Structure formats: structure tokens, C-alpha cells
């Protein structure tokens, strides 16, 4: 929990601060999301990166900060499953951020929709490339 509290030093310049109670809530939801997606993670690096990266977004505000981080975790782990862990964590987070700041204009609903499109495109491309090599065995 201290690691996450220490991030306040970086995020406070954007007017975003997490309280110990906020952090507990984020961890509880993180564990729920991991369970819901059948995932196990030992560290909190993904949550730390989401906090650091998204704090710089002009669409993040103090009033919805915790709720937004909870939703971002949900979207992230959904994507990890849908892309079969073939896209690295940081790349995925930065793609989410680009979309959040760009076409989504801070809308989590649009971000989720765009990320679902990304996952579908990824699956389609993966299936296409796998079918190209099927006869080579």
C-alpha cells in the first residue's frame, strides 16, 4: 500500500490524490477483477502504471479518480485475456491512454468499446496468421 501512497507525490501535480481508504478500495476491486477474469498476479505494477500514466490525462479529475481507476483496471484485464497476454502490459496501458485522450475524449464507455474493437481485431489477425501456417506442419 505504501508504494501506491508514494505515487501521490507524482500525481498531486495533476490535482489527484489517493487516500489510504481509496487505495484499499482499488486493491479490493483489483482482486475482484483478477478473480472475475481468472487471473493471478503477485505484484501491483499494473495498478501503479495505470495510476502514473492516467494521472497525466486532462480527462482525469479528483471527483471520479478512484472510480475511473477501477474501470481502467477492468478494461485492462479484459484486454489481457482477450489478447491472450500477447501484448505487453505497458504497451496495452499506453494504447488505452492514447485512446482515452484521443477518440474517447475521456469517456470510459467509448474507451471500452474501442478496446473491444482492438481485441476483436487482434483475435482476427491472430486467427488469420495461424491459418496461414496450418498447412506447413
27-47 per-position pLDDT tens digit: 999 999 999 999 999 899 999
Quick one: pLDDT at residue 132? 67
Per-residue exposure over 12-33, b if at least 16 CB sit within 10 Å of its own CB, e if not? eebebebeeebbebbeebbeeb
Mean pLDDT value across residues 105-119: 97
The model's pTM is: 0.90
- CB-count burial class (<10 Å; 0-12, 13-18, 19+) for 50: buried
Mean pLDDT value across residues 5-26: 97
Total structural domains in the chain?
Answer: 1
Mean pLDDT value across residues 6-18: 97
Q: Which domain holds residue 43?
A: 2-136
67-89 per-position pLDDT tens digit: 999 999 999 999 999 998 889 99
Amino acid at each position: 500500500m505504501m508504494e501506491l501512497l508514494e505515487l501521490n507525490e507524482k500525481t498531486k501535480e495533476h490535482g489527484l490524490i489517493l487516500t489510504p481508504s481509496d487505495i484499499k478500495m482499488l486493491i479490493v476491486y483489483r482482486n475482484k477483477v483478477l478473480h472475475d477474469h481468472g487471473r493471478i498476479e503477485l505484484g501491483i505494477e499494473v495498478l501503479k502504471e495505470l495510476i502514473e500514466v492516467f494521472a497525466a490525462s486532462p480527462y482525469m479529475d479528483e471527483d471520479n479518480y478512484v472510480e475511473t481507476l477501477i474501470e481502467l483496471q477492468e478494461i485492462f484485464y479484459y484486454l489481457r485475456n482477450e489478447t491472450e497476454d500477447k501484448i505487453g502490459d505497458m504497451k496495452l496501458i499506453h494504447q488505452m491512454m492514447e485512446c482515452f485522450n484521443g477518440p474517447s475524449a475521456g469517456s470510459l464507455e467509448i474507451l471500452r468499446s474501442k478496446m473491444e474493437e482492438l481485441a476483436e481485431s487482434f483475435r482476427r489477425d491472430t486467427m488469420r496468421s495461424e491459418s496461414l501456417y496450418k498447412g506447413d506442419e
